[in-house]
Chain A
Amino acid sequence: MMVRGAPFQENIVQSPDRPVLRSVAGNASDTSAAVSLDFPALFAQHFGYVWQTLRRLGVPVRDLDDVTHDVFLKVYHQLSQYQSPRAIKPWLFGFAFRVAADYRRLSRNRRELLEPSDEPQDTAPSAIERLVFAERLELALLALQDVELERRAVFILHELDECSIPEVAETLGINVNTAYSRLRLAREDFSKAARRLRSRRGER
C-alpha cells in the first residue's frame, strides 16, 4: 500500500538540537522559529529531552514511561497553543514540570528514592566505563533530589538546559527576582548535597 515509492517528506528541517521545523529556516537560534509543529516528529525529536527532564525532576525510572506518556499526551492536546517564537524546550519543560509535580503529589509517590535497583543495569563487560558513568549519574540525580522541587526546576533549566533567567522565569511563570533567588538557593542545596554524598562515599 504505502511502502513502495513512499514519498519522502519534504520541508522537514532536521538537526539534532532544533525543533521540528516545517519549511522555515530563518532564525538560527537554538529552539525557536517553528511555524507549525508536527506531533510525531516532535515526539521523535524531543522524546529524549522530556524523558531526561522527568528523570532530573525526580521521577523514578520505573514510572518514567508512564509519566513521559502523560506529558506527551498533554503536549498533543496543547499543540495549537505553542507559539513559534518560543523555544521549544522550555515549553516542553513546562509540561514536564507540571506533570512531575502532579506525580509527586500522589502520596504513593512522595517517597522519592532513586534506588539503584531502579536503574537499568548494563552488565556486559564492555560496559564498565558506562557503569562508572552510571554511578556518577545516579549520585548526581540523588544530589538533585535534595534540591526542593521549585528550586530544582530553575536549576535544571538554567544550569543544565542553559536557559537564560528571564526565559526560566517565563517558563515557570515566576518573576525574574524569584528565579534568581531560587537559583541561588538551588545551588546551595546542590552543593550541600554533593558534599554530603562525597563524604558519605569517602575519598575514592
Chain B
Amino acid sequence: MKRSSDERFEKELLQALREPIRAPERNAARTRVSLRLQATLSCLEVGAASTLPLMLEAPSIAASQSTASVAASSKALVGAAGIGNTAAAAGSGAAGAGAAVAATHPLGVLLTAFALGAGAGGGAFVVLSGGDVIEPGAAAASKAPAASFSVAPRQKSPSLPALPLPEQAHADSGAASELVEGSVRAEEPERARTHARGAGAPALASGSAQLGASVSPATGPSVDTLTVQQALLDRARAALARGDGAQALAALAEHARVHPASTLAEEREALTIKSLIASGDYPSARARGDRFGQRYPHSLFLPSIRAALSKNP
C-alpha cells in the first residue's frame, strides 16, 4: 500500500517536472534575457560587425500563424519609437529602432505586443510574445539615420470587443506608433504601460482578465528599467561606433550614476574601456582593463578588450 502511494507520488513529481513553464513566467524571463543578450552581443560586436547583422538586420515583422483563424482575426501592434529621454536625438541622427513582435496565443485569446524603442545602436530583437513563436523584427537604426514614422490613429480591435485596449501611452516627441494587422497579446498591460511611459516608447497593450491579471513578479530587474538602461548603453555604443569616445563616456557615466549596480554593469564597463581607448586615454583604459579582468575573469568581453588594449600601446 505504502509502496503504491510512493509510486503515485513519484509519478506526480515527474509529471510536475514535465509541465512546461507557464507562459507569463517564461515570456517575462525571455524578455529580460533577450535584452541582456542584445546588450552583450552589441558590446561584443562593436567595431567588428561580423555576425551581429544577423540579428539586427532584416527589419521584418512576422506574425505567427499557428492557428490561421486566430491570426486572421486578430491585431498586432507595432510601435517604433525613439527612447524617451533621448527622443530628441532622433532628430540628430540617432534614430529609434523599433522592434515588435506579434504572436498568437495557443488559446487564441488575446496577445500583446509592445514596442521597444532602442537607441541608435540597434533594435532589440525579441519582444514579449504570448505564443511559442516570435518572429523578431528589428532594425539597425544606424543604417537608417533619419527615421520617419507614421502615426496611425488609435484603433480598437473589432474582433475583441470584450477586451478594450487600455489607454495608449502618450507618445513623446519623436515617438510614434502604428497598428498593423497581426495578433496582439495582453500579457502584462500594466508593465507595458509603465514601460511605455518610462522609455517614451508607445506601447499598446490589451488587457485580458484571465491571462493578464496575475503575473508572477519577475525575478531580477524589471523589463522597464532594463529597457531604459539598454537605451543608455545603446547611446554609448552608437557614439563609440561613430568613434566619438567622449560622447560614449558621457552616456556610460550617466548609466553608472543612475544604475551603479546594474546587471548590465559588466557590459557598461566593457564599453567604458573601449570608449577610453577610442578617446585616446590609454592609461585609464589599461587600468580599468586590469580591474575588469580581475572582476570578471570569465567575461566574454575580455578577449576583445585585451585585443583592443594590445593594439594601442
Contacts and interface: CB of A to CB of B under 8 A. Distances in A.
Please indicate whether A and B come from the same complex rather than being unrelated chains. Answer: yes
Interface of A: 1-4, 6-9, 12, 14-17, 38-41, 43-45, 47-48, 51-52, 56, 61-62, 64-66, 68-69, 72-73, 76, 120-122, 124, 126-127, 130, 133, 136-137, 139-141, 143-144, 159-160, 190-191, 194-195, 198
Contact of A122 (B16, B135, B214): B214
B257 to A, nearest CB: 24
Contact of A191 (B10, B30, B216): B10
Given A2-B59, A65-B220, A72-B37, A14 B13 contact: no
B125 interface: yes
A43 B37 contact: yes
Interface string B27-69: 0011011101100110000000001001100111111111000
B29 A56 contact: no
Contact of B60 (A4, A9, A47, A143): A9
Nearest to B56: A40
A144 to B, nearest CB: 7
A73 B59 CA distance: 22
Given A48-B26, A141-B17, A195-B6, A1 B213 contact: no
B136 A136 contact: no
Interface centre among B16, B101, B139, B149 (most CB of A within 10 A): B16
Interface of B: 6, 9-10, 12-14, 16-22, 25-26, 29-30, 32-34, 36-37, 40-41, 51, 54-55, 58-66, 78-80, 95, 97-98, 101, 106, 125-126, 129, 131-139, 141, 144, 147-150, 178, 180, 213-220, 263, 300
Nearest to A47: B30
A14 B147 CA distance: 31
Interface centre among B40, B97, B126, B132 (most CB of A within 10 A): B132
26 contacts: A1-B147, A3-B80, A3-B178, A4-B178, A6-B60, A8-B62, A9-B60, A12-B62, A16-B132, A41-B133, A43-B30, A44-B129, A45-B134, A62-B220, A68-B29, A69-B36, A69-B37, A73-B37, A122-B214, A122-B216, A140-B12, A141-B17, A144-B17, A159-B14, A191-B6, A198-B6
Given A65-B33, A68-B29, A137 B80 contact: no
Contact of B29 (A39, A64, A136): A64
Given A3-B78, A12-B62, A65-B33, 10 more contacts: A1-B97, A2-B61, A15-B66, A40-B125, A40-B134, A52-B21, A69-B36, A72-B37, A120-B219, A195-B10
B216 A120 contact: yes
A48 B116 CA distance: 21
A44 B17 contact: no
A169 B189 CA distance: 45
A164 B50 CA distance: 37
Interface centre among A3, A15, A45, A61 (most CB of B within 10 A): A3
Contacts of B62: 8-9, 12
B16 A72 contact: no
A6 B61 CA distance: 6
A60 to B, nearest CB: 10
Contacts of B219: 61-62, 64-65, 120
Contacts of A14: 64-66, 132-133, 135
Contacts of A140: 12-14, 16-17
Nearest to A161: B18
B178 A48 contact: no
Given A133-B16, A133-B19, A159-B14, A72 B136 contact: no
Nearest to A203: B5
A131 B163 CA distance: 27
Contacts of A17: 132
Nearest to A142: B13
B149 A3 contact: yes
Contact of A7 (B60, B136, B138): B60
A15 B37 CA distance: 24
Contact of A40 (B25, B138, B218): B138
A3 B12 CA distance: 47
Given A12-B62, A73-B300, A120-B218, A2 B19 contact: no
Contacts of A3: 78-80, 98, 149-150, 178, 180
Given A3-B150, A51-B29, A137-B16, A41 B6 contact: no
A72 B79 CA distance: 27
A25 B95 CA distance: 38
A198 B6 CA distance: 8
